[in-house]
Structure 1
Amino acid sequence: MLPSIKPLPMKDRISMVFIQYGQIDVQDGAFVVIDQNGVRMHIPVGSVACIMLEPGTRVSHAAVHLASTVGTLLVWVGESGVRLYASGQPGGARADRLLYQAKLALDDDLRLKVVRKMYEFRFGEPAPQRRSVEQLRGIEGVRVRETYKMLAQQYKVNWRARNYDRSQWDAADIPNRCLSAATSCLYGITEAAVLAAGYAPAVGFIHTGKPLSFVYDIADLFKFETVVPLAFRIAAKSPQQPEREVRLSCRDLFRSSKLLGRIIPTIEEILAAGEIKPPEAPPESVLPAIPNAETIGDAGHRTQ
């Protein structure tokens, strides 16, 4: 009898793969993409953090089950990956970490501590004293807009503002298209890391009210050292296919910077700023009848 599949940790995976115009299935135990001519291409699904499914892609039940088993996030995106429609959870939020995250987010004082730590991590300096979350968000917004302007000047890009209409994507200017494609890639691998760590993507601290609020919080910590300069550098060349160039460059950047290996430890560091411990299970709680098996995967990966 074959041993059960054990997910690889996020830090040991490649970041992402884009698939379009193909049928995804499991054949002979392998995760494969089959094109219109019947040609098969094997995808090492267990060593990928997330797979971006573009229009024209169909995926079988067996393929979704295998991706879930090995802890790989499936993300349904628009053409060139610039819109995110839905995602399939590769694991499940651990109750202890979910309660820990929720307690930090629901307590105003604890939430402010976490937001201040995010500010310090992002800008390399302590957050201004006696500022609310809303005030820190405003200060952050000003600094972000100034950073966009600075990078546009550095790469000699004609920059007006971060603005585009999703319903008229092709009408957007190249810098905005590059930035959207780049941040979409970053959000994909960040969501995979958040889920693998056992946390809830929707429970944010700065961002709220969105299914990926916490993903945006964490992705913003890395955005301006990774994908934003990359997007401006590519926009300066005015490429014919900006989204394709961006996502290929993001793939290489994520690998060279070992970003996946940094995200989960950063999440732990940021939440630790709340200075509370994850809650213990109540003494009267019922323990699982079948304990979870040991796995080499991350804390949030499902076990068989």
Structure 2
Amino acid sequence: MTTVSQRATASPRELTRTANRISFVYFERCTIHRDANAITVQDAEGVTHIPSATIGTLLLGPGTRITHQAMSVLGETGAGVVWVGEQGVRYYAAGRALSRSASLAQAQATCWANRRARLEVARAMYRLRFPNEDPSGYTRKELLGREGHRVKECYRAQAQRTGVPWQGRRYTPGDFAASDPANQAITAAAQAMYGVAHAVVAALGCSPALGFVHSGHELSFVLDIADLYKTDIAIPAAFDAAAISPEDVGARTRRALRDRINEVRLLDRIVNDIHELLLPADFTTAEDDAYDEVTLQSDHGHHVAAGLNHATDYSW
């Protein structure tokens, strides 16, 4: 117990808040190393220094090599790291949480464990996505049906706005090139959004696996959060990229999405939305939540100090 509370790594107060970080940075065909608290990126054009505490998610493309020291500083500062395939994105690693408090993780588990509360969170997620519709009385099946209908409407509206041909959502897992440019762009945008969402979920200390709409996968909650911004950020950015040219549509989509995420301050929005979804309305974060504080659970919901021997004079 005392080892946890006395670790010498940076406290959350010394790190850049998740909401104020760069959403994601993409590199390929380079070597990434560490220089003090920054990472260095060396490629054919030279060396670039980036303060590690300013990164939300680091996307590592093909031909990327990264040293143990670089991964160490990224983990210490809570940055997410994503290895990116040539034709898509997969999330393999996450930095540690920036918060030392278990408040959000406990609230998430409490909401998830109660079937009625779980449905209420799912309804609240729908309300965040489509604020002009009240889902209060919707069942699970009705939520899924309405969500599918609204997403289809979004695809059609964006295709009409941009003039991009659209024959419906088509995606073959593992075969990115089999899709048309619009579908490739949507896939690239979705995968990048999963990386960004995962970085924030991990930074806040939530469980990526305890989803309220998605279920059964280690990233269920990540998929829930990423989908909150699908129709107003990810899909429009994808169609904008596909409208420019069918060539190199994946990289163009990521750049457009990066700019849009920074423009709308999405990281700040994700942090606020997760707090709103999981915590009571009257909940306030204590000033000492940023510091390591470990307690022990006792009877009747009471907590006692850790690092102490609580043995009494019982006869054994």
Find 2:189's aligned residue among 182, 191, 208. 182
- Seen in structure 2, the aligned counterparts of structure 1 residues 126 and 275 have a Cα distance that, compared at 3 Å, is farther
Task: Map 1:154-193 to 2 at 5 A.
Answer: 154-193=161-200
Aligned counterpart, 1:142: 149
1:53 maps to amino acid: L
Aligned-residue sequence identity (percent) comes to 34
Name the CA shift for 1:43/1:275 in 2 (closer, same or farther; >3 Å). Answer: closer
Q: How far apart are the structure 2 equivalents of 1:243 and 1:223?
A: 16
Match of residue 83 from structure 1? 89
The count of aligned residue pairs is 286
Give the structure 1 partner of residue 73 of structure 2.
66
Match of 1:18 among 11, 22, 26: 26
Q: Distance in 2 between matches of 1:276 and 1:96?
A: 10
Partner AA of 2:15 in structure 1: P
Query: Partners of 2:280 and 2:212 in 1: how far apart?
Result: 13
Read off the aligned partner of 1:26 and give its amino acid letter.
R
The 3-state SS of whatever aligns with 1:14 is coil
| 1:8 aligned residue | 16
Equivalent position amino acid for 1:263 in 2: I
Residue in structure 2 matched with residue 296 of structure 1 by the alignment: none
Q: CA deviation at 1:146?
A: 2.1
1:295 aligns with none
Q: Displacement of 1:62 after TM fit?
A: 1.0
Deviation at 1:179, TM superposition (A): 0.8
Task: Select the residue among 264, 271, 283 that pairs with 2:278.
Answer: 271
In structure 1, distance between residues paired with 2:305 and 2:104 = 17
Partners of 1:46 and 1:277 in 2: CA distance:
25
Greater relative contact order, per chain length (Cα 8 Å cut-off, separation 6+): 1
Equivalent residues of 1:10, 1:49 under 8 A apart: yes
Task: Give, as a single letter, the amino acid of the residue that structure 1 aligns with 2:219.
Answer: L
1:201 corresponds to 2:216: no
SS of the residue corresponding to residue 244 of structure 2 reads coil
Distance 1:275 1:286, change over 3 A: closer
Q: Does the alignment pair 1:111 with 2:118? A: yes
Following superposition, the deviation at residue 155 of structure 1 comes to: 1.6
Seen in structure 2, the aligned counterparts of structure 1 residues 41 and 59 have a Cα distance that, compared at 3 Å, is same
Q: Which residue is equivalent to 2:3?
A: none
In the alignment, residue 84 of structure 1 is paired with which amino acid? R
Superposition deviation, residue 112 in structure 1 = 1.2
Structure number with larger C-alpha Rg: 2
Asked if 2 retains the 8 angstrom alpha-carbon contact of 1:22 and 1:57, the reply is yes
Counterpart residue identity of residue 95, structure 2: Q
2:128: which partner in 1? Answer: 121
AA aligned to 1:194 is V
**In the TM superposition, what is the alpha-carbon distance from 1:132 to its structure 2 partner?**
2.0
Give unpaired runs (5+ residues) of structure 1.
Answer: 291-304
Contact 2:40 2:50 in 1 (8 A): yes
Q: Please, what TM-score do these two structures have when normalized by structure 2?
A: 0.81
**Per the alignment, do residues 128 and 31 of structure 1 end up closer, same or farther by CA in structure 2, a change over 3 Å counting?**
closer
Q: Distance in 2 between matches of 1:85 and 1:193?
A: 13
The answer as to whether partners of 1:113 and 1:273 remain within 8 angstroms in 2 is no
SS of equivalent to 1:160 = coil
Paired amino acid for 1:83: V
Kept in 2: contact 1:113–1:274 (CA 8 A): no
In structure 2, the residue matched to 1:283 is 298
Relative distance call for 1:173 and 1:236 in structure 2 (3 A) is same
Give me the whole-angstrom Cα distance separating, in 1, the residues matched to 2:236 and 2:43.
Answer: 35
Partner of 1:297: none
Deviations 1:12-41 (A, max 9, x none): 11111111112222245541123379x432
Distance 1:127 1:273, change over 3 A: farther
Instruction: Kindly state the Cα deviation for residue 150 of structure 1 after the two structures are TM-superposed.
Output: 2.0
Whether the aligned pair in 2 keeps the contact of 1:110 and 1:274 (CA below 8 Å) is no
Return the offset for 1:47: 0.6
TM-score, normalised with respect to structure 1: 0.84
Task: State the AA in 1 paired with 2:190.
Answer: T
Q: Deviation at 1:127?
A: 3.5
